[in-house]
Chains A and B, each alone.
Chain A
């Protein structure tokens, strides 16, 4: 801001020109350095744009190219001139917001309206292709041909050798025809035949798509390639009929069910390969109405709330306490202590969680061995809950400690001295002076820490995996958070159901959003203290 407006204290109207007093200290908009910087920045933007556009153009993703062009044009427009200062800050922030917040949320919402998941990943065309391809059965006892891929007048021909009978055939889309005078090579394959150009393996591989889909019709089936050097006689047992929009094997008919994205027979069975269809609000309502999901929702939700509140409360209390102790003027060796306290924060949480998990092992874990006890830490609901809390507090308090230490430095010593002069006890000084001022700095972090711990997937999943699971209901564990519970429900080991998972994550998102909004509103109350 100082660049264009000069020092803050100077009345703005009094500045004679935009390039006022600051000019000799900062490069002004017209200086060589500023121009060079701008050129570099613009060059970088255009360079990045070209780098991003090249693969999009080659993939013919014109919408993507359009977006890149639009964003680049905007960026160039904003940064080309020394004016439009607010936009210079707003533009990157807005772009990042769109890319990392708005787009993922919208994309999740769009997925929630479909049945996307295992067995329903692709389009109907892909499903039909997969059904037909996997239904081709080899004719039992049929001859295996040695295949040579060749061409005549540019169109593909299969030169087929029957090693048992030493005969050669030319197979086209019209059928099989015997050829005479062909020469055979090693392994009995045709190496040359008059009128046909034999393709090298590389040439054949380049026409791989054609080779794979090529079928030489013969009685009751077709000869297809198995790789580039063998061919077999097989028959597609399932076929798709556009007329009835169904798949049939001659006796059973599977009709397309465009609402569920699968082919279903009259007896209710379906073919394995399905496709992605829009299911409207079904996933979102299923999360509320499906008894499998909603009967346990409340219990999990309450524990989840307790977990997040307990973690935030305990980490904050411990962090502030440690910070106060180390802030005391008569404390010695403060640096060493601070380093030690911050250590858990500096270690990779992921690895630490796994280490803690193994330390809680009943027979081999460090905790039981050191304490000389035989507690089934992660095996009973209460101890498992205590364990996950303990681990998370250990991981989380150094952060609170760091913030509190910083905040304590900013509290003027005069306030406390004044309170002391007024005869306040140590507790009163803490309660009335230090704590409110600390909370001013801590409160927003407590809210974000709550939001983080509410969804602390790693903290629970890596330690207890949601367990222990009661024997009468193996689907929901004692330490399950909403996020770990829904993770297992939607993918875990149950096969991926992205649509349902997206719907549930929208609900989790809403819950966290509401709690955070309330939290941030409450933090405004602290501001009145200052």
Chain B
């Protein structure tokens, strides 16, 4: 009895672990067993990029006699990358946005990429600047995104020269009953509850204000904070004049989604959005044109934030040399940039691919023109101190609260937070 029991238990445990071992084998990149013969290059990307990059990764793997695996990370990519890398389970290559660089560098998680001057000059200026942090290039850029003004050409044949003209036109159309809202300008984040700094920035800069000054090496300078200054108060007064207690053009109920919905349904003649709305607008069949976001009359140019998508090499990846090779040679190629453009119409960062894209799609050149005045979204980690107070400030201003105390309070909150993160 006792003996049969032991034998039975042994059999059971053997089958149990045999089964699990077999289950775990395919596709378990994090298992840690890596034979010397075949390294596995792990790439993290979002859904769309994964599909596009897959054939290139496979070709690279075959050519070099290694394995490549693309993992789709749909949500919270930066945070997941930080946590996973710290635990030694991160990827070798990461696809992401350039404004992660500051945080990833302070956590020691991405490697510099040493490109020659020749290679660097192949990229559009704003993309090159965006991936350069503290004088060092940290990513290979592939796409550039920025805001522009979509205009319904049936309702408004000519592009407005200034933002004031845009408001006047929009208001006229509204009074005639042709549209419901003056402009589709996203004021709130998707959650509807806090302001949207990214979309507000063109108007804020056109009002003559800035967020951070610039260091000699081109990085934003957290010591020179532009929020709370007289210039920023003046800029927000101009914005407040368009808000709920002013012209009623900017409203807190506008988010990126419902603004775009209004535009495609013909409920507004103008929409401030990025190239990610192109597909939606085209599908809806609205006759449209894309022009730069206009500046205030007698104002500074409207400098929107430019976001750059890039490939990064993880410092804590197991195959750094291989990852560098893949990123600098395969992913930096024009073929990849073109394939990524074909998958989603975003302006390529590589000049040769940009020519290809512009020939294929006239809107690319229009977005490129809109990016000319743009500034790269600051990548310094201190930006985390800005978002929350600045977002809240935008809501207060558009709501119609007194401008000066609100701007000063936000400036103080940011400065305090900067002191804490230092």
Contact pick for A471, options B117, B322, B401, CB 8 Å: B401
CA distance A346 to B260 in the complex (A): 33
> Are the CB atoms of A208 and B401 closer together than 8 Å?
no
Is A208 within 8 A of B16, CB to CB? Answer: no
Contact B32 A471, beta carbon cutoff 8 Å: no
A195-232 vs B, CB cutoff 8 Å, 1 = contact: the mask equals 00000111011101101100000000000111111101
Partner-binding segment picked from B4-12, B150-158, B290-298:
B4-12
Q: Which residues of B contact A228 (CB under 8 A)?
A: 64, 321-322, 324-325
Q: Is A121 an interface residue (CB 8 A)?
A: yes
Name which residue of chain B comes closest to A463, CB basis: B193
A193 within 8 A of B: no
Q: A51-B17, A144-B116, A475-B413 are in contact. Are A273 and B108 (CB under 8 A)?
A: yes
For the complex, what is the distance from the CA of A208 to the CA of B328, rounded to whole Å?
16
CB distance from B401 to the nearest CB of A (A): 4
Could you tell me if B384 and A495 are in contact, using CB atoms closer than 8 angstroms?
yes
Chain B contacts with A in 58-80, Cβ cutoff 8 A:
63-66, 79
Q: Is the pair B406, A475 in contact by a Cβ cutoff of 8 Å?
A: no
For residue B352, CB closer than 8 A to chain A, the reply is no
Contact of A51 with B324 in the complex, beta carbons under 8 Å: no
Encode contact with B along A140-175: 1 for CB under 8 Å, 0 otherwise: 110010000000000000000000000000000000
Q: Could you tell me the distance between the alpha carbons of A146 and B401 in the complex, rounded to whole angstroms?
A: 62
List the A side residues contacting B392 at CB < 8 Å. 467, 469, 471, 474-475, 477
Inter-subunit contact A208/B39 (CB<8 Å): yes
Closest Cβ–Cβ distance, residue A463 to chain B (whole Å): 8
Contacts of A463 in B (CB 8 A): 193
Number of interface residues of A (CB under 8 A): 87
Q: Indicate if the CB atoms of B406 and A471 lie closer than 8 Å.
A: yes
> Residue A109 at the B interface, CB < 8 A?
no
Q: Are A137's CB and B66's CB within 8 A?
A: no
B186 to nearest A CB, angstroms?
13
A363 within 8 A of B: yes
Range, interface on chain B: 35 or more
CA distance A467 to B327 in the complex (A): 43
Q: Judging by beta carbons under 8 Å apart, are B33 and A58 in contact?
A: yes
- Residue A435 at the chain B interface, CB threshold 8 Å: no
Q: A292-B416, A467-B395 are in contact. Are A364 and B258 (CB under 8 A)?
A: yes
Contacts of B50 in A (CB 8 A): none
Given known A-B contacts A232-B114, A234-B114, A364-B253, A127 and B12 have beta carbons under 8 A apart:
no
Q: Is B42 interfacial (CB 8 A cutoff)?
A: no
Q: Is the CB of A493 within 8 A of B322?
A: no
Query: Which of A37-45, A307-315, A323-331, A446-454 lies at the interface?
Result: A37-45
A-B pair number, CB within 8 angstroms: 250
The answer to whether A492 and B33 touch (CB under 8 A), given A47-B16, A358-B192, A474-B409, is no
Cα distance A144–B393 in the bound complex, in angstroms: 50
Bound complex: CA A426 to CA B319 (Å)? 77
B65 touches A273 (CB 8 A): no
The residue that A464 contacts in the complex, of B79, B82, B193, with Cβ under 8 A, is: B193
| Contact between B8 and A118, CB atoms less than 8 A apart | no
Q: Which of B37, B193, B253, B321 contacts A363 (CB 8 A)?
A: B253
Cβ–Cβ contact A58 & B192, under 8 A = no
Interface string of B326-339 (1 = CB under 8 A from A): 11110000000000
Tell me if A493 and B388 are in contact (CB < 8 A). Answer: yes
* Interchain CB contact under 8 A, A208 and B319: yes
**With A55-B31, A227-B324, A227-B329 as given contacts, are A471 and B17 in contact (CB-CB < 8 Å)?**
no
Of the candidates B31, B135, B191, B329, which one forms a contact with A137 in the assembled complex, judged by CB atoms under 8 Å apart? B135
Is B66 a contact partner of A225 (Cβ separation < 8 A)? Answer: no
Partner of A474, one of B17, B114, B388: B388
Chain B hits for A127, CB < 8 A: 108
Cα–Cα, bound, A273→B103 (Å): 10
Q: Is there an interface contact between A471 and B409, defined as CB atoms closer than 8 Å?
A: yes
Partner of A205, one of B11, B319, B409: B319
What is the minimal beta-carbon distance from A481 to any residue of chain B, in angstroms? Answer: 14
Q: Does A119 contact B (CB under 8 A)?
A: yes
The yes or no answer to B315 lying at the interface (CB within 8 A) is yes
A361 touches B420 (CB 8 A): no
A472 within 8 A of B: yes
Q: Report the minimum CB–CB distance from A416 to chain B (whole Å).
A: 49
Give the complex CA separation of A329 and B395 in angstroms: 53
- Partner-binding segment picked from A11-19, A92-100, A128-136, A398-406: A128-136
B86 nearest CB across to chain A (Å)? 5
- Asked if A270 is at the interface of the complex by the 8 Å CB criterion, the answer is yes
When the two chains form their complex, are residues A50 and B13 in contact, meaning their CB atoms are under 8 A apart? yes
Q: Which chain A residue shows the least CB distance to B326?
A: A227
Most buried by A among B114, B258, B328, B396: B114
CA distance A462 to B253 in the complex (A): 16
Complex Cα spacing A463 to B194, Å: 11
A379 adjacent to chain B (CB < 8 Å): yes
Chain B residues with CB under 8 Å of chain A are 1, 5, 8-9, 11-13, 15-17, 20-21, 31-33, 36-39, 63-66, 79, 82, 86, 102-103, 105-109, 111-117, 134-136, 181, 191-194, 251-254, 258, 315, 318-322, 324-329, 381, 384-385, 387-389, 391-393, 395-397, 399, 401-402, 405-406, 409-410, 413, 416-417, 420-422
Interface contacts beyond A137-B135, A208-B319: sample of 8 additional A-B pairs, CB < 8 Å, sorted by A: A42-B9, A134-B111, A136-B112, A228-B64, A361-B192, A467-B193, A467-B395, A494-B417
A residues contacting B by CB (< 8 A) are 35, 39-40, 42-44, 46-48, 50-51, 54-55, 58-59, 118-119, 121-122, 126-127, 129-131, 133-134, 136-138, 140-141, 144, 200-202, 204-206, 208-209, 211-212, 224-230, 232, 234, 270, 272-274, 292, 357-358, 361-365, 376, 378-379, 462-475, 477, 488, 492-496
- Pairs across A and B, CB under 8 Å, 30 listed: A40-B12, A43-B9, A47-B16, A50-B16, A118-B384, A130-B315, A134-B108, A200-B65, A201-B322, A202-B37, A205-B319, A208-B322, A209-B320, A211-B321, A226-B115, A227-B325, A227-B326, A228-B321, A228-B322, A228-B324, A234-B114, A272-B134, A361-B253, A362-B251, A467-B194, A468-B193, A474-B396, A488-B388, A494-B385, A495-B385
